Amino acid sequence: MRKEDIRKYAMNIGADVVGFAAIADYHSPLSPAPQEIMPGVQSMVVTGYRENDGAVDSPNKRISMTSRMGGMELSMKNNYLIARHIEKEYQAKAAPVAVSYPLEMSGKGKGMVGDISMRHAAHAAGLGVFGRHNLIINPVHGTRMIYTVILTSLLLTSDPSITEDLCTDCGLCVEACPANALDEEGKTNQMRCLKNSQPYGIGGTLKYINSFIGASPEEQKNLLKEPVFLELYQAGFIGFQYNCWQCMAVCPVGIS
Ligand code: B12
């Protein structure tokens, strides 16, 4: 009853899939214990948002990123509303967790570990299974999904988990990865992926700053005219910008 009410509420405001997991069923190898984020947490509501096919398939990655930012923004607003709905209707506490950012940058995770691992959350809530690309495959939407979580003190049972292996082991994701980041099964080479998918992220910023330090005033003037500086400047105020969707784009599951 509560689960159906929350599911209906979330889907009415734009979530494509909604699942539930009791905290005891969520296991992430690296993310902190959910109790450290929200004392008294009992369950999580996991929502998924479908990427736009035209955007994922676009050769122009600004277009892919524009759609992703739309999904991130909608999910952030919806998470706030779903959390408010839970707090008002059920007198329970609720805390939204972001799609990806902000991330803890200073601890041992160094910007690579989310407060909640959305893939493990989606898996625990019966929304999908891990594929060869180490992403979650949903039975209806395939890989083209982003996931978010709302933690709550409300006691909710886990939805049934998916036992079927949805990955066809076609190997397309491994072949299509321009950084060869998926060569080792069960592990994404994060540094290779990061360097290719976020050229204007932290690595690119450090490289640019280091080239600036020690350069002559004349060289510095020229460095400020480099396109890389303009890209870094833009990423600085827009936020994390992905430049690659290949493993998601080539996955054939759920694509008609
Ligand atoms: C940091 C981060 C990255 C980093 C590091 C990735 C990584 N290996 O963790 C980088 C920059 C490389 C990255 C890349 C991408 N990311 Co990213 N990323 C995140 C973020 C913010 C945190 C991930 C995290 O906590 N990792 C730490 C732990 C969980 O990783 P781990 O211990 O190595 O766990 C691995 C094993 O458990 C393994 N595994 C393999 N087989 C199996 C089987 C079972 C049964 C289990 C339980 C586990 C398992 O899978 C895990 C990943 O390698 C999440 C958002 C979030 N809060 O979850 C998004 C997230 C994982 N990213 C996402 C996406 C889409 C991408 C990219 C496609 C880029 C893009 N354009 O969006 C690529 C895909 C790379 C890939 N194929 O792996 C989505 C995935 C959606 C989905 N459908 O699954 C997420 C969930 C964002 C979201 N909210 O939707 N990402």
Query: How would you class 255 by CB atoms within 10 Å of its CB: exposed for 0-12, middle for 13-18, buried for 19 or more?
Result: middle
Query: Residue 75: CB within 6 Å of ligand 1?
Result: no
Query: Residue 248: CB within 6 Å of ligand 1?
Result: yes
- pLDDT per residue as tens digits for the range 124-146: 999 999 999 999 999 999 999 99
**Contact of 195 with 203, CB cutoff 8 Å:** yes
What distance in angstroms lies between residue 70's CA and the mean position of ligand 1's atoms? 19
Upstream peptide bond of 102 is cis (omega within 30 degrees of 0):
yes
**Contact of 109 with 30, CB cutoff 8 Å:** yes
Average pLDDT on 225-248 reads 93
Confidence band of 214 (pLDDT split at 50, 70, 90):
confident
Query: Residue 133: CB within 6 Å of ligand 1?
Result: yes
- pLDDT per residue as tens digits for the range 73-104: 999 999 999 999 999 999 999 999 999 988 88
What distance in angstroms lies between residue 209's CA and the mean position of ligand 1's atoms? 28
Confidence band of 226 (pLDDT split at 50, 70, 90):
very high
Res 256 pLDDT > 90: no
Q: Which of the listed residues 123, 134, 191, 248 should we mutate to test ligand 1's pocket, taking the one with most ligand atoms within 8 A of CB?
A: 134
Query: How would you class 179 by CB atoms within 10 Å of its CB: exposed for 0-12, middle for 13-18, buried for 19 or more?
Result: middle
Question: How many other C-beta atoms can be found within 10 angstroms of the C-beta atom of residue 182?
Answer: 24
What pLDDT does residue 239 have?
A: 87
| pTM of the predicted structure, to 2 decimals | 0.94
Residue 74 parent element (H or E): helix 61-90
CA atoms in the 13 A half-sphere facing the CB of 42 = 7
- pLDDT per residue as tens digits for the range 150-189: 999 999 999 999 999 999 999 999 999 999 999 999 999 9
Query: Residue 242: CB within 6 Å of ligand 1?
Result: yes
- Domain spans, the chain: 2-167, 173-248
126 Ramachandran zone, left/alpha/beta (phi>0; psi -120 to 50): left
Nearest-atom index, ligand 1, CA of 133 = 77
**β 17-22/129-130 pair status:** unpaired
Residue nearest to atom 54 of ligand 1 (CA): 100
What is the chain's mean pLDDT, rounded?
Answer: 95
Query: How would you class 245 by CB atoms within 10 Å of its CB: exposed for 0-12, middle for 13-18, buried for 19 or more?
Result: buried
Residue nearest to atom 51 of ligand 1 (CA): 134
What distance in angstroms lies between residue 120's CA and the mean position of ligand 1's atoms? 9
208 phi and psi, to 5 degrees?
-65, -45
Query: Residue 112: CB within 6 Å of ligand 1?
Result: yes
What distance in angstroms lies between residue 135's CA and the mean position of ligand 1's atoms? 6
Average pLDDT on 197-224 reads 94
